[in-house]
Structure 1
Amino acid sequence: MKKVNWNNVRLVVILLVVVFLFSFSAKRNETRWLQEATISFEETEYFITRDNVNKLLIQNYDKVTDIRKDKLALNKLENSLDQNPMIEKAEVYATVDGKLKAVIRQKKPVARVYSESESYYIDRNGTHMPLSDSYTARVPLVTGKVDEITKEKLQQILLYIYNNDFLKKNIIGIDVHQNGDLTMMSRNYDYKIAFGQPITIEKKFKNYMAFLQDASKNNIAEEYKTINLKFTQQVVCTKK
Structure 2
Amino acid sequence: MRRNWLLNIQLIAIFGLVIFLYSFTSKRNEQRKISKPKIEFLNAESPFVTHEMVNNLLKEKFGGASTIKKENLDLKSIEQTLNKHSLIEDSEVYVSVDGKLKTVVKQKSPIARVFNNNTSFYIDYEGGKMPLSTNFSARVPLVYGQIDTAKNKGFVSLLQMIYNDDFLKKNIIGMQIQEDGSIIMKNRNYGYDIIFGRTIHMERKFNNYKAFFQKAVQDTLIGSYKSINLKFTTQVVCTKE
Please report the TM-score for the alignment, with normalisation by the length of structure 2: 0.90
Q: Which runs of 5+ in 2 are unaligned?
A: none
- Asked if structure 2 preserves the Cα contact closer than 8 Å seen for 1:29 and 1:96, the reply is no
2:241 pairs with 1:228? no
Q: Which moved more, 1:22-31 or 1:157-166?
A: 22-31
Structure 1 residue aligned with 2:212: 211
Pairs within 5 Å for 1:157-176: 157-176=158-177
Structure 2 residue aligned with 1:48: 49
What percent of counterpart residues are identical? 46
Structure 2 residue aligned with 1:69: 70
- Asked if structure 1 preserves the Cα contact closer than 8 Å seen for 2:150 and 2:156, the reply is no
2:100 pairs with 1:99? yes
- Asked if structure 2 preserves the Cα contact closer than 8 Å seen for 1:149 and 1:180, the reply is no
2: CA distance, partners of 1:19 / 1:38: 33
2: CA distance, partners of 1:20 / 1:195: 74
Structure 2 residue aligned with 1:188: 189
SS at match of 2:181: coil
SS at match of 2:86: coil
Matching residue's letter, 1:229? L
Q: CA deviation at 1:26?
A: 2.1
1:149 and 1:18, CA in 2 relative to 1: closer, same or farther beyond 3 A? Answer: same
2: CA distance, partners of 1:7 / 1:182: 88
Structure 1 residue aligned with 2:60: 59
Structure 2 residue aligned with 1:25: 25
1: CA distance, partners of 2:222 / 2:151: 31
SS at match of 2:123: strand
Structure 1 residue aligned with 2:198: 197
1:197 and 1:19, CA in 2 relative to 1: closer, same or farther beyond 3 A? Answer: same
Structure 2 residue aligned with 1:111: 112
Q: CA deviation at 1:7?
A: 8.5
2: CA distance, partners of 1:19 / 1:216: 78
- Asked if structure 2 preserves the Cα contact closer than 8 Å seen for 1:45 and 1:135, the reply is yes
1: CA distance, partners of 2:222 / 2:150: 29
1: CA distance, partners of 2:101 / 2:218: 55
1:194 and 1:97, CA in 2 relative to 1: closer, same or farther beyond 3 A? Answer: same
1:137-181 CA-to-partner distances (Å, cap 9, x unmatched) read 000111101224651011110011011111000101111001111
- Asked if structure 1 preserves the Cα contact closer than 8 Å seen for 2:58 and 2:64, the reply is no
Structure 1 residue aligned with 2:83: 82
- Asked if structure 1 preserves the Cα contact closer than 8 Å seen for 2:127 and 2:151, the reply is no
- Asked if structure 2 preserves the Cα contact closer than 8 Å seen for 1:148 and 1:178, the reply is no
Matching residue's letter, 2:35? Q
Q: Which runs of 5+ in 1 are unaligned?
A: none
- Count of aligned pairs between the two proteins: 239
- Asked if structure 2 preserves the Cα contact closer than 8 Å seen for 1:148 and 1:177, the reply is no
Matching residue's letter, 1:34? I
Q: Which moved more, 1:204-213 or 1:17-26?
A: 17-26
1: CA distance, partners of 2:99 / 2:88: 25
1:59-85 CA-to-partner distances (Å, cap 9, x unmatched) read 345543322222221110000001111
Matching residue's letter, 1:86? L
1:105 and 1:236, CA in 2 relative to 1: closer, same or farther beyond 3 A? Answer: same
1:105-149 CA-to-partner distances (Å, cap 9, x unmatched) read 101111111112531111111111100010000001111012246
2: CA distance, partners of 1:149 / 1:45: 23
Q: CA deviation at 1:35?
A: 2.7
- Asked if structure 2 preserves the Cα contact closer than 8 Å seen for 1:227 and 1:235, the reply is yes
1:5 and 1:184, CA in 2 relative to 1: closer, same or farther beyond 3 A? Answer: farther
